[in-house]
Amino acid sequence: MRVLVVGGGGREHSLCWAISASPLCDALYCAPGNAGIAQVATCIDIAAENVDAIVALAQKEKIDFVVIGPEGPLVLGLADKLRAAKIKCFGPSALAARLEGSKGFTKDLCAKYNIPTAAYSRFTEMEPALEYLRLQGAPIVVKADGLAAGKGVTVATTLDEAERAVRECLEANRFGDAGASVVIEAVLEGEEASFFALCDGETALPLLAAQDHKRVGDSDTGPNTGGMGAYSPAPVFTAEVHRQVMDRIIRPTLAAMTAEGSPFQGVLFAGLMIGPKGPQLIEFNTRFGDPECQVLMLRLKSDLLPALIASADGALKHFDLRWREETAITVVMAAEGYPGDYVKNTEIRGLDAAAQVDGVTIFHAGTKTEDGKILANGGRVLNVCAIGTDVRQARQRAYDAIARIDWPQGFCRSDIAWRALLKSTG
């Protein structure tokens, strides 16, 4: 079968890597892809959000199955347009992608169907929002309703900060339409984890949990990023937590979406707070996490492609996936300046030597090839991943590989998986 993966980051490299290993895959395309993806797929330079051009590409290349990586094209209705063109695809409809595209939609759904999440209220006007803030007091969380490239959430420790966040959305229009409505919610206490389930509208097939590191600096300091590293398994995600998340959050959400007339197909990514009240939902995403996907792909023993097809076909009921027991980790290497303005077009050397380290796989997140050289052209640039018998070994391998990478303008956090390491040593 002929497969097209949409996107061009580390998540899509890991998906292409897994799909290219499938005996079912005869030809693999990726739009736009990157220098690493080009090693396993034919890259076509079309932006993921250019949904009409993606549909045209799928038609031109007689693609049998499209796998949509990022949220942007999902919210823009790429899955709907592909299905209208009779092209099978993995990823939710625009209506189902509201679970990620509108925080207010998700909060209202949780309230209606009794899915555990932080207490909240929604506002489009300044005055009532400010009044609510004053009533609730700090700390408190302010969220732009729509997609805001990870910048729309403020966990405010003071009322001043919360008020500023509301003003940025409702008055200053910082996020455009995405911030024309805000959710204000209570702060949840506990430890965060990401959990993933493949869904076919009716059945949810649990994948794995992972933890990522959102802050740019060691010891979780500095500004938020798209994720500086991840690992799986996540020790906080016990079998009991898993059961609770499936019973109280994932299955009820799937049933709710069907009842609301927009069944969910694709991967449901629950951002969770695991605290004294059990797991609570922070937010849903409607795609794989980046960089969580990279560690999931390293732990997956089964063929990924039939599972994604079963999700698209409504055939997950009797499906099963097998996973490696080992720990997988990914350390993100980013370009100097990230998550602010970062340097571009700097050369990266030593990738082959780094990939020689036992258990190591390197996924590219923001690279291109020029005159036979690998150049960085994104904020997050490389995912140096490793698998090991435990978190200590996996982590050692990843950092050994990083030591072999010659890229003076790159940096990484030196403490990825510190929580898991702490737990493994007691």
Q: Using CB under 6 A, which of 88, 164, 214, 248 touches ligand AMP?
A: 214
- Asked whether 343 and 364 are in contact (CB, 8 A), the reply is no
List the interface residues with ligand AMP, window 225-284 (CB under 6 A): 271, 282-283
Distance of alpha carbon 92 from alpha carbon 99, whole angstroms = 10
Residue 336 binds ligand AMP (CB under 6 A): no
Using the contact rule CB under 6 A, the part of the chain among 161-169, 183-191, 228-236, 331-339 near ligand AMP is: 183-191
Between 71 and 200, name the residue whose CB sits nearer to ligand GLY: 71
Which partner, ligand AMP, ligand GLY, none, binds residue 290 by CB below 5 to 8 Å per kind? ligand GLY
- Asked whether 165 and 152 are in contact (CB, 8 A), the reply is no
Spell out a b/e string for 234-250, using b for 16 or more CB atoms within 10 Å of the CB, else e. Answer: bbbbeeebbebbbebbb
Shortest distance (Å) from residue 154 CB to ligand AMP: 8
Q: Using CB under 6 A, which of 12, 71, 80, 192 touches ligand AMP?
A: 192
Q: What is the CA radius of gyration of the chain?
A: 21
Q: Using CB under 6 A, which of 53, 149, 187, 343 touches ligand AMP?
A: 187
- 117 SS3 class: strand
Using the contact rule CB under 6 A, the part of the chain among 20-28, 171-179, 182-190, 295-303 near ligand AMP is: 182-190
Residues whose CB is less than 8 angstroms from the CB of residue 149 and which lie 6 or more positions away in sequence, other chains included: none
Which partner, ligand AMP, ligand GLY, none, binds residue 212 by CB below 5 to 8 Å per kind? ligand GLY
Between 14 and 22, name the residue whose CB sits nearer to ligand GLY: 14
Binding-site residue total for ligand AMP (CB under 6 A)? 12
Between 234 and 362, name the residue whose CB sits nearer to ligand AMP: 234
Q: Is the dihedral of CA 114, 116, 119, 125 positive or negative?
A: negative
Residues whose CB is less than 8 angstroms from the CB of residue 235 and which lie 6 or more positions away in sequence, other chains included: 419, 420, 423, 424
- Asked whether 73 and 49 are in contact (CB, 8 A), the reply is yes
Between 29 and 120, name the residue whose CB sits nearer to ligand AMP: 120
Q: Using CB under 6 A, which of 145, 163, 185, 290 touches ligand AMP?
A: 185
β-bridge pairing 229-232 and 221-224: unpaired
Q: Please count the helices (runs of H) and the strands (runs of E) in the chain.
A: 15, 23
Residue 144 binds ligand AMP (CB under 6 A): no
Which partner, ligand AMP, ligand GLY, none, binds residue 118 by CB below 5 to 8 Å per kind? ligand AMP
Which partner, ligand GLY, ligand AMP, none, binds residue 283 by CB below 5 to 8 Å per kind? ligand AMP
Distance of alpha carbon 130 from alpha carbon 111, whole angstroms = 22
Residues whose CB is less than 8 angstroms from the CB of residue 204 and which lie 6 or more positions away in sequence, other chains included: 197, 198, 246, 250, 251, 254, 268, 316
Using the contact rule CB under 6 A, the part of the chain among 69-77, 181-189, 234-242, 330-338 near ligand AMP is: 181-189
List the interface residues with ligand AMP, window 77-136 (CB under 6 A): 118
Residue 188 binds ligand AMP (CB under 6 A): yes
Q: How far is CA 381 from CA 10, 130, 196, 312, 384, in A?
A: 8, 40, 24, 31, 10
Shortest distance (Å) from residue 81 CB to ligand AMP: 27
- Asked whether 410 and 335 are in contact (CB, 8 A), the reply is yes
Between 150 and 176, name the residue whose CB sits nearer to ligand GLY: 150
Per DSSP, which regions of 258-309 are E strands?
Answer: 265-275, 278-285
Shortest distance (Å) from residue 347 CB to ligand GLY: 27
Between 187 and 422, name the residue whose CB sits nearer to ligand AMP: 187
Write out the residues near ligand AMP by the rule CB under 6 A.
118, 141, 153, 155, 185, 187-188, 192, 214, 271, 282-283
Write out the residues near ligand GLY by the rule CB under 6 A.
212, 227, 285, 289-290, 292
